[in-house]
Amino acid sequence: MAAKNLLENLTAGAARLAGHPGLQVLLALAHDRRVQVYLVGGTVRDLALGRASPDLDLAVPAHTLELARELARVLGGAFVLLDEGERTARVVAGEQILDLTEFRAPTLTGDLQGRDFTINALALDLAEVVAGAPLTVHDPTGALQDLAAGVIRMVAPENLAQDPLRLLRAYRFAATLGFAVTPETTAAVRRFAGEFPRVAGERVHHELFLLLAAPGAASVLAAMDEAGLLCRVFPELPDLKGVEQKGFHHLDVFHHSLETVQQLEAVLAEPGRFFPDSAAEIAAYAAAPPRPALLKLAALYHDAGKPLVREERPHPERYTFYQHERVGGEIFAGLAQRLRLSQAEAKVVGRLIAWHMRPFLLLPLFRRGELTVRALGRLVKAAGADLAGGFALAMADSLAGQGPLKPPDSETALADLAAQAFRFRAERLDPLAQAPRLLTGHDLTRVFGLTPGPRFKELLTAVEEAQWEGRVTRREEALDLVRRLLETT
């Protein structure tokens, strides 16, 4: 983007903010305390790029926390202390979110020169913005030039060393903005990558999910690997390097995993290319954040268990990896705990990893027309709400494997299986879930005198599967089925 366009965007964006009630109140409060306030960082960057900025970043030379508390009181909002040592706070009033930070240097220029990347070292005087006056753009590090060039450039190496999370932020911005990390910044990342493990997991979680949600995350992950950062963020991945697979695969496990992320992005971008009959289901699933990020985590870790289970027998022309999905899920659980994923997030990724082989195991029967309703139903039920995500991951996994033993119709067969699975869910599983159950655990106790235990689940599952097959449609038939099962065991 040309520098002229950036300045035009800044002027237009500042004009939109002139009437912002929270900024007007903040400016009046700051005037009473005789301090200046500046719009800074990501807010100014996004204005220059013509992007909406949901949060407003502001810098104040002094009295920051006092200003924030007073602002929250006047606006009738909430004051949130973010870091007392750094004197940063957030004010939330309705849809208004204002983040106030105290200068980290005696002057505005010094504060900007202490930031991570040039593109975040921009400032506008809030008084000029609110008054609609000609703007003075404070740009001591060449931010506008780098925004125009589309590059992520560090302000100074020591700024990255001060907080190793900034190493990951370089690639987060590269992914979300579509920018390139400069060679000197990459060199600094390589130099300081060894310090990354000391960053708190919840901070890594936040940046990582922003990165993974971006459409071009796969190429950025590859760039992180070249800079020596990827395996610091994901310390389980080095074990995948150099682990050959043969058979259905042409890449080692590590590069296959990266390629799976790449192919997953292609599937999510154009689901109709890969799932002609199920594109709507795939698109709807991926439209809800943080699912794209969770899917890419699953793609990155779906084969993490392979190094631990690889065997060359009994197929000399290929290795076998029995139960690698179970082991991979256990490995991912360690990452989930370290990054402080929520239980819901960890459950989704764990389920996707555990499920990803199931379609491939059914494809031979499906091709021959021998796939039973029961097997199809178990496949669908095991995926639960993540059926679309599971098929998207399986398709990406298939596309990423181009070994000599791979059947040429793999993707077509997988898409056809997905279509049949979605039809089964819509026509049989969903209607049964919405209807009253023919039998409950209470019935097993009252009618058959059984005590609660694992047998309950087995019997109720047998009734449900018989309903899938159409063999049981009434309560009496369900009772007869349970009676027969109990007589044979």
Neighbouring-strand partners of residue 57: 99
**Mean pLDDT across the stretch 208-213?**
98
How far is Cα 241 from Cα 62, in angstroms, rounded to an integer?
51
Mean residue pLDDT across the chain: 94
For residues 232 and 433, which has the higher predicted lDDT (pLDDT)? 232
| Amino acid at position 87, single letter | R
pLDDT score of 205 more than 70: yes
**Mean pLDDT across the stretch 408-428?**
97
CATH 1.10.110.30 in the chain is located at: 156-233
Say if residues 423 and 376 touch (Cβ distance below 8 Å): no
- Report percent pLDDT > 70 for the chain: 99
Say if residues 197 and 235 touch (Cβ distance below 8 Å): yes
Say if residues 80 and 91 touch (Cβ distance below 8 Å): yes
pLDDT score of 239 more than 60: yes
**Mean pLDDT across the stretch 14-32?**
94
Q: What is the pLDDT of residue 78?
A: 96
Q: What is the pLDDT of residue 181?
A: 98
184 to 33, 116, 191, 225: CA distances (angstroms): 42, 14, 11, 16
pLDDT digits (tens, 9 = 90+) for 106-154: 999 999 999 999 999 999 999 999 999 999 999 999 999 999 999 999 9
Q: Which of 205-209, 430-434, 480-484 has the highest mean pLDDT?
A: 205-209
Residue whose structure tokens are 């279509």: 419
How far is Cα 212 from Cα 299, in angstroms, rounded to an integer?
11
How far is Cα 389 from Cα 431, in angstroms, rounded to an integer?
22
Alpha-helical runs (H) found in 270-372: 271-274, 279-286, 291-301, 306-309, 324-338, 343-355, 358-367
How far is Cα 371 from Cα 421, in angstroms, rounded to an integer?
11
How far is Cα 442 from Cα 131, in angstroms, rounded to an integer?
71
Q: Which of 160-169, 337-346, 428-437 has the lowest mean pLDDT?
A: 428-437
**Mean pLDDT across the stretch 400-428?**
94
CATH 3.30.460.10 in the chain is located at: 3-149
Q: What is the pLDDT of residue 307?
A: 87
Question: What are the φ/ψ torsions at residue 81 (nearest 5 degrees)?
Answer: -80, 115
**Mean pLDDT across the stretch 283-308?**
95
Helix (H), strand (E) counts: the chain: 28, 9
How far is Cα 353 from Cα 337, in angstroms, rounded to an integer?
16
Q: What is the pLDDT of residue 316?
A: 60
Residue whose structure tokens are 């009734």: 463
- Report percent pLDDT > 90 for the chain: 86
What's domain 3-149's superfamily in CATH?
Beta Polymerase, domain 2 (3.30.460.10)
For residue 92, what are the contacts with CB-CB under 8 A and spacing of at least 6?
Answer: 72, 77, 78, 80
Residue whose structure tokens are 């929520």: 342
| Amino acid at position 235, single letter | P
pLDDT score of 317 more than 70: no
Q: What is the pLDDT of residue 313?
A: 62
Q: What is the pLDDT of residue 244?
A: 85
pLDDT digits (tens, 9 = 90+) for 56-69: 999 999 999 999 99
CA atoms within 13 A on the CB side of 236: 23
Alpha-helical runs (H) found in 270-311: 271-274, 279-286, 291-301, 306-309
Predicted model pTM: 0.92
Q: What is the pLDDT of residue 379?
A: 97
Report the residue count for the chain: 489
| Amino acid at position 414, single letter | L
pLDDT digits (tens, 9 = 90+) for 341-380: 999 999 999 999 999 999 999 999 999 999 999 999 999 9
* Burial class of 39 by CB neighbour count within 10 A (0 to 12, 13 to 18, 19+): buried
For residue 271, what are the contacts with CB-CB under 8 A and spacing of at least 6?
Answer: 278, 279, 282, 283, 286, 392
pLDDT score of 311 more than 80: no
pLDDT score of 314 more than 60: no
pLDDT bracket for residue 315 (50, 70, 90): low
Q: What is the pLDDT of residue 380?
A: 97
How far is Cα 101 from Cα 348, in angstroms, rounded to an integer?
36
Give domain 156-233's CATH architecture. Answer: Orthogonal Bundle (1.10)
Q: What is the pLDDT of residue 246?
A: 77
pLDDT bracket for residue 84 (50, 70, 90): confident
Largest CA distance in the chain: 88
How far is Cα 98 from Cα 252, in angstroms, rounded to an integer?
47
Q: Is the dihedral of CA 443, 445, 449, 452 positive or negative?
A: positive
